[in-house]
Amino acid sequence: MAVTATGSNMKSYEEAVDTFSWSDVEAQFSWARTGKVNMAYEAIDRHVADGKGDKIALHFSNNERDESYTFAEMSKQSNKFANVLRSLGIAKGDRVFIFMPRTPELYFSLLGALKIGAVVGPLFEAFMESAVRDRLKDSEAAAIVTTPALMSRIPRSELPDLKHIIVFGEGVAEGEGLVDYGRAMAEASDEADITWLDREDGLILHYTSGSTGKPKGVFHVQNAMLQHLYTGQIVLDLKEDDVYWCTADPGWVTGTSYGIFAPWLNGATNVVRGGRFSPQDWYATIAKYKVTVWYSAPTAFRMFMGAGAEVAKSFDLSCLRHILSVGEPLNPEVVRWGHKVYGQRIHDTWWMTETGGHMICNYPAMEVKPGSMGRPIPGVQAGIIDDQGNELPAFRMGNLALRTPWPSMMRKIWNNPAKYEEYFRIPGWYVSGDSAYMDDEGYFWFQGRVDDVINTAGERVGPFEVESKLVEHPAVAEAGVIGKPDPLRGEIIKAFISLREGYEPSDELKTDIARFVKEGLSAHAAPREIEFKDKLPKTRSGKIMRRVLKAWELNLPAGDLSTIED
Ligand code: WTA
């Protein structure tokens, strides 16, 4: 069963845990000597200063473009963008959103914003108007970088703080807050002063979903780079010559922590592929750039499995040295299939937007138990606790929790201290919202969510956001949304809906309601299944009981119904 890669950065897990100290990680940063902190400098410019300016930092391709940039070029382009933002009066701490498909310009903008100490808010390109509005409003964003195609989804009249929209694309009419990215970049100098920061100054704001309320702004600080650098070394196992590909979009935390920060802090060559998933395109990307370390997600691996081993065999994938997965449970059969077809085990990693970086992982230096998320990274302690905070013995299922603090731990929920405190309600612990157990060798096994958060194809969707959109539809009186188990996507979104007077259930109405959510909120949040009910189960205070909907769906006992309306 044991598959131990030789020559990994971590020699033995036990030894790494015994000898670990965060101060050894700190010593690797230039700020350990200079006292000057900035993520963008450490990720890009320091490699130029170290004489590696000619190394390829970014290989980008989509169906139209195919480009590569060295660290020196990334440095200049991000300097230019830093100057563009400065000329608009954007300063340290301001929220600058990036709302565009993956192109090199997304990365120049993001790094440029970091260089002036702005807090970056990445937005996934599939977000529609209400999703965009909620996030920009809550964070009081000052500027956004976007494309002509996405611009109409930014409701400017409702966003008084949003002063500048920087548009990358053809035919941008400047004025009234609109700035042409191409014109501004052409005029900007490629030299820029970096705004030096404190380790506790802001870095990034990722909006993510919980089971109640609107999406919350998870705020991370510069200090997170300790965890990004270190886990890039021991979990991604990045080395000097690696060509690394993380398939996640920077709209999600995996696409920033491990699509930008970890690889570039470690000076690796980073591959970005724009466009949609297709097994052929993705394998071709691996073969084209000779990707050595590949980080993707269970739904993608299940799609590759569905496409069949023959497709994999028609590409030369022998370059792959290390494969990792994140975001949803990784089925043991997928690990075994990967072993057969790619010649190595897929390494599962567990963490969350809130943790900012890897927490529980499988390492090349450790035996992979298919189905387990692995063991905590050195420097982090995990435990299984009951609701009172008592640690549970091996094999007992409970709340998956982490000992506080760690370097990349979120530092606040934007504008919502009460939400933040909820995670830390048990002294000394961060409570994740996942349930799990630990085995007698300290491996953790994921069991599910303790709340109603839905995980569809690795994307975290809050039922409340979907329900709020659904009830805006003229036919919908009430809506309750749950995750329904699905063999490919892990879960799909299922909505139970009661209709207003005068509306009759029909397939056309289902299609129309699904489209309404897709066009108003986002495609990944739209229900794939809708069921009409005369009445939805509610508590006496009027809250829809998703737990009961789930029990209906799965034919399970509904549990305690003492709070139900009637
Ligand atoms: C789930 C993504 C099982 C989990 C980095 C967590 C996982 C949520 C795994 C965070 C895994 C993440 N196995 N479930 N290896 N990794 N999850 O914030 O429920 O988008 O709480 O962060 O995804 O999702 P988020």
Q: What is the ipTM of this complex?
A: 1.00
> How far apart (Å, rounded) are the C-alpha atoms in residues 40 and 475?
49
**456-512, pLDDT tens digit by residue?**
999 999 999 999 999 999 999 999 999 999 999 999 999 999 999 999 999 999 999
* Positive or negative: CA dihedral 78, 84, 87, 88: negative
> How far apart (Å, rounded) are the C-alpha atoms in residues 457 and 540?
34
**23-46, pLDDT tens digit by residue?**
999 999 999 999 999 999 999 999
Give the HSE-up count for residue 216: Cα atoms under 13 Å, Cβ half-sphere.
24
| Contacts for 27 with CB less than 8 Å, ≥ 6 apart | none
> How far apart (Å, rounded) are the C-alpha atoms in residues 155 and 511?
26
460 Cα nearest atom in ligand 1: 20
Task: Say which range, 308-312, 339-343, 371-375, 556-560, has the weakest mean pLDDT.
Answer: 556-560
Q: Which residue, by CA, sits nearest to atom 20 of ligand 1?
A: 460
Cα distances from 15 to residues 140, 366, 375, in angstroms, run 46, 11, 14
State the pLDDT at residue 218: 98
Q: Where does residue 237 fall: left (phi above 0), alpha (psi -120 to 50 degrees), or beta otherwise?
A: left
State the pLDDT at residue 566: 60
> How far apart (Å, rounded) are the C-alpha atoms in residues 302 and 286?
17
Q: Which residue, by CA, sits nearest to atom 15 of ligand 1?
A: 350
Pull the structure tokens for residue 358. Answer: 């890897």
Q: How far is the CA of 366 from the centre of ligand 1 (A)?
A: 21
CA angle 531–534–539, rounded 5-degree value: 95
State the pLDDT at residue 4: 41
| Contacts for 517 with CB less than 8 Å, ≥ 6 apart | 466, 469, 470, 525, 526, 527
Strand order in the sheet with 476-486: 476-486, 490-499, 529-532
Which residues have C-beta atoms less than 6 Å from ligand 1?
Answer: 208, 252-254, 326-329, 348-353, 373, 432-434, 446, 449, 455, 460
Pull the structure tokens for residue 94. Answer: 């301001």
> How far apart (Å, rounded) are the C-alpha atoms in residues 421 and 375?
26
446 Cα nearest atom in ligand 1: 3
User: What mean pLDDT is predicted for residues 540-545?
Assistant: 86
Long-range contacts of 21-27 (CB under 8 A, 24+ apart): 21/379, 22/226, 22/379, 22/407, 25/226, 25/229, 25/230, 25/407, 26/226
Pick from 42, 118, 37, 132: nearest CA to 81: 118
Q: What band does 1 get if pLDDT is binned at 50, 70 and 90?
A: very low
Q: What band does 531 get if pLDDT is binned at 50, 70 and 90?
A: very high
Query: What's the pTM value of the predicted model, to 2 decimals?
Result: 0.95
| Contacts for 441 with CB less than 8 Å, ≥ 6 apart | none
360 Cα nearest atom in ligand 1: 15
Long-range contacts of 384-389 (CB under 8 A, 24+ apart): 384/436, 384/437, 384/438, 384/444, 385/426, 385/429, 385/431, 388/426, 389/426, 389/427, 389/428, 389/429
Q: Which of 326, 372, 452 to mutate to test the pocket of ligand 1 (most atoms within 8 A of CB)?
A: 326
The residue type found at 331 is: N
Pick from 257, 217, 223, 286: nearest CA to 349: 257
354 Cα nearest atom in ligand 1: 18
